[in-house]
Amino acid sequence: MSKKQKKMLIRIIIASLLMILLNVLKLPKAVSAAGYLVTYLVIGWDILRKAWKGVLNRRPFDECFLMAVATLGAIGLAVYERSGDYNEAVAVMLFYQIGEFFQSYAVGRSRRNITELMDIRPDYANIERDGALEQVDPDEVEIGTVIVVQPGEKVPIDGTVIEGSSTLNTSALTGESVPRECRAGDEIISGCINLTGVLKIRTTKEFGESTVSKILELVENASSRKSRSEEFISRFARVYTPAVVYSALALAILPPLVRLVAGMPADWNIWIYRALTFLVISCPCALVISIPLSFFAGIGGASHEGVLIKGSNYLETLSQVKTVVFDKTGTLTKGVFEVSGVHHSPLEDAELLELAALVECASSHPISRSLQRAHGKEIDRGRVADIEEISGEGVVGRVDGRPVAAGNDKLMKRLGIAWQDCRSVGTVIHIAVDGAYAGHIVISDLEKPNVKEAIRALRDAGIRRIIMLTGDAEKVASHVAADLGIDEYHAQLLPGDKVDLVERFLAEQSGREKLAFVGDGINDAPVLSRADIGIAMGALGSDAAIEAADIVLMDDDPMKIAKGIRISRKCIRIVYENIVFALAVKFGCLILGALGIANMWAAIFADVGVMVIAVLNAIRALRVKNL
């Protein structure tokens, strides 16, 4: 509890005791009136002060001003009617303050809950100086400094392990509880907790650029990208208060005038009382606080599960996703190709591999990397010249002066070389040397372990259409699609084709259905940004992916996609519950108040009671563990 809150609590307790005393003791009228006045001032002086300031600043719809008018009006009516019943006015002020207190407490608590959940910010970094460890602010550590991380501590800055080995707990980043091993030479990212051994790390980034800072920044900024529901609420709030205040004014004046004209007693006091009831309900706070809080809780809960959502708007869109488009390589499959065969070659296998690795040495494509791995030797780039990459086909170049071409059947067709088809499933790289066919290398990619279940989970979550896109050969694509239970696939695509296809799928959607594209974020940035929602997978430590995507899955587990969708649905459901509930109670009370059925007690419930319930409901969005 903050100091402000403590002071408020004391005022609430004193005022409540005074109220009880005044109601139990039968004091003479004048004394009890003075007692009520004192109680009213104890609990409401700050409201009166703020109301006065509001008037000076010409802000008539200030919440405090309205509360002051409502309660002072009620006191005025009690004086006018000589009832001596000041209970209601003072109680309304008291309950209003209790409500505000509870709101500030509940919001403060939930804010802390959410931020604690995301508390991955390291407080210090250890630097070894003269044989002793010194704790310094991670902000002050320069690139290339050697830091020491002891067991139980958080890794504060991204870097490379230079000494020691240990297991790391990455659950704060990925939601994944299986520990990871790391040894000297490994890249290490900040935010992991070192479990077993002492590690010496040479930092490769500044603290502000490290993974942990990036993630924190992302999640904290997420609530600044407002969703449509939030936009709606702030627009609504802007018109709601003035509308209610003007109707209160109308309610106070028009009906009595009509009654006067009709020859009935005007009953001014009754109508003014009803108008005052209106004023109590006029604050839109329940909506204005609970909606962003729900989103924030949802985003916080999701980030704890390793699903980073970059904005409330994306959370909202994710909940409406009906079509999921996958990139195959690196997303559904591991993206780690392995050479599974060398066929029809007049050359030695190793020689063919060497040629392929040499000619592909400039490419960063996973296929090239796998060829280089299979070759297994250092590559002498001096032996290669005139490399030309033909997008979607392959590479041509000169190795030791001889022209070499490596690529798919399209490339062979272009070069006019007869090739031999391969019967095994996999990506086939045909090689031609000196314009003659020299055999092919078969490379295959492995499916990720959870993919099948992940696809099923998506279908259970109500995803209607699942599509796979790949630049790979038809045969490989159909094999993978059939194996995983994907109903639609498009093979042999160039990077540009993927964007066109996604645009076509977008056009085929009806109504508010949305499309998500899932990729590894490395070479599919244009598609990621073109889809309604771009999801990058296994992005831990990859800045490019974090930049390009709207939603980032911190680890490789494809199950997280369905989980993210379920989290977003739960969150949106809570948002709608809160909107409907708050509006229903408020408008209900307005109508009943106008008819004279609901009194100020009901009104104060409509104001603060609804707000407290809505805040508590919003906090449910945080609990997503078992979704």
Query: What is the C-alpha to C-alpha distance for residues 406 and 384, in angstroms, rounded to an integer?
Result: 13
Nearer to another protein, 201 or 571 (CB): 571
Angle between helices 285-304 and 228-261 (to 10 degrees): 160
Contact 121, 216 (CB under 8 A): yes
Q: How far is the CB of 46 from another protein (least distance, A)?
A: 9
Distance CA 159, CA 143 (A): 9
Q: Is 228 exposed, middle or buried (0-12, 13-18, 19+ CB in 10 A)?
A: exposed
Is residue 285 a contact residue for another protein (CB under 8 A)? yes
Kindly report the backbone phi and psi dihedral angles of residue 540, in degrees, each rounded to the nearest multiple of 5, phi listed first: -50, 115
CA distance 213 to 26: 64
Number of residues that bind another protein (CB under 8 A): 27
- Residue from 33, 50, 198, 620 binding another protein (CB under 8 A): 50
Which one of the listed residues 62, 327, 445, 520 is annotated catalytic?
327
Indicate which single residue of 6, 59, 228, 413 sits in contact with another protein (rule: CB under 8 A). 59
Nearest-angstrom CA–CA distance, 467 and 462: 15
Among 234, 420, 450, 492, contact with another protein (rule: CB under 8 A):
234
Task: Kindly write out the interface string for residues 178-217 of this chain, putting x where it contacts another protein by CB under 8 A and - elsewhere.
Answer: ----------------------------------------
In the chain, % helix, strand, coil (3-state, to 5) comes to: 55, 20, 30
Gap between the Cα atoms of 39 and 16, Å rounded: 8
Chosen residue from 66, 92, 201, 283 binding another protein by CB under 8 A: 283
Dist CA 537 CA 558 (whole Å)? 8
483 catalytic per annotation:
no
d(CA 513, CA 322): 6
CA atoms of 12 and 35, how far apart (whole Å): 16
Q: Write down the least CB distance from residue 225 to another protein, Å.
A: 9
Q: With beta carbons less than 8 A apart as the criterion, state whether 537 and 518 touch.
A: yes
- Distance between CA atoms of 431 and 342, rounded to whole angstroms? 11
Q: Which of 24, 26, 57, 261 touches another protein (CB under 8 A)?
A: 57
**Member of 138, 255, 292, 311 binding another protein (CB under 8 A):** 292
Q: What is the C-alpha separation between 206 and 197, in angstroms, rounded?
A: 24
Does 7 bind another protein (CB under 8 A)? Our answer is no
CB of 50 to another protein, least distance (A): 6
Footprint on residues 532-551 left by another protein (CB under 8 A): none
Position 308 contacts another protein (CB under 8 A):
no
Closest distance of CB 290 from another protein, Å: 8
- Asked if residue 252 binds another protein (CB under 8 A), the reply is no
Site string for another protein, 66-105 (x = CB under 8 A): ----------------------------------x--xx-
Question: Does residue 111 interact with another protein by CB under 8 A?
Answer: yes
CB of 398 to another protein, least distance (A): 51
Does 293 engage in binding with another protein (CB under 8 A)? yes
Using an 8 Å Cβ cutoff, are 279 and 94 in contact?
no
Q: Least distance to another protein from the beta carbon of 528, Å? A: 24
Six token digits for residue 536 = 């990058």
- Angle at which helix 3-24 crosses helix 29-56, to 10 degrees, equals 150
Q: Which is nearer to another protein, 105 or 268 (CB)?
A: 105
Site stretch for another protein (CB under 8 A), options 59-67, 88-96, 357-365, 428-436:
59-67
Is 510 a binder of another protein (CB under 8 A)? no
Task: Find out whether 187 and 205 touch, Cβ atoms under 8 Å.
Answer: no
Q: Measured between alpha carbons, how far is 428 from 605 in angstroms, rounded to an integer?
A: 71
Among the listed residues 32, 194, 223, 408, the single contact to another protein using CB under 8 A = 223
| Residue 319 touching another protein (CB under 8 A) | no
227 interacts with another protein by CB under 8 A: no
CB 448 within 8 A of CB 558: yes
Nearer to another protein, 72 or 118 (CB): 118
Residue 64 or residue 463: which is nearer to another protein going by CB?
Answer: 64
Cα–Cα distance, 502 to 497 (Å, whole number): 8
Token pair listed for 517 = 């594209």
- Cβ proximity to another protein: between 114 and 432 the closer is 114
For another protein, the binding residue among 132, 144, 185, 224 (CB under 8 A) is 224
**139, 140, 187, 220: which one contacts another protein (CB under 8 A)?**
220
Interface pick for another protein out of 19, 22, 114, 539 (rule CB under 8 A): 114
Greatest CA separation found in the chain? 116
**Helix H segments across 179-227?**
211-222
Q: How far is the CB of 501 from another protein (least distance, A)?
A: 36
Nearest approach, Cβ of 540 to another protein (angstroms)? 24
44, 63, 98, 304: which one binds another protein (CB under 8 A): 63
Task: Please state whether 335 falls in left (phi above 0), alpha (psi between -120 and 50) or beta.
Answer: left
- Whole-number Å distance between alpha carbons of 197 and 260: 88
Q: Is 296 in the site for another protein (CB under 8 A)?
A: yes
Q: Binding another protein by CB under 8 A: which of 159, 256, 284, 439?
A: 284
The C-alpha atoms of residue 331 and residue 497 are separated, in whole angstroms, by 18
Give the tokens for residue 419: 């090739």
Tokens describing residue 428: 């086939």
Please identify every residue annotated as catalytic. Answer: 327
Q: Which residues are at the interface with another protein (CB under 8 A)?
A: 50, 53, 57, 59, 62-63, 100, 103-104, 107, 111, 114-115, 220-221, 223-224, 234, 237, 283-285, 288-289, 292-293, 296
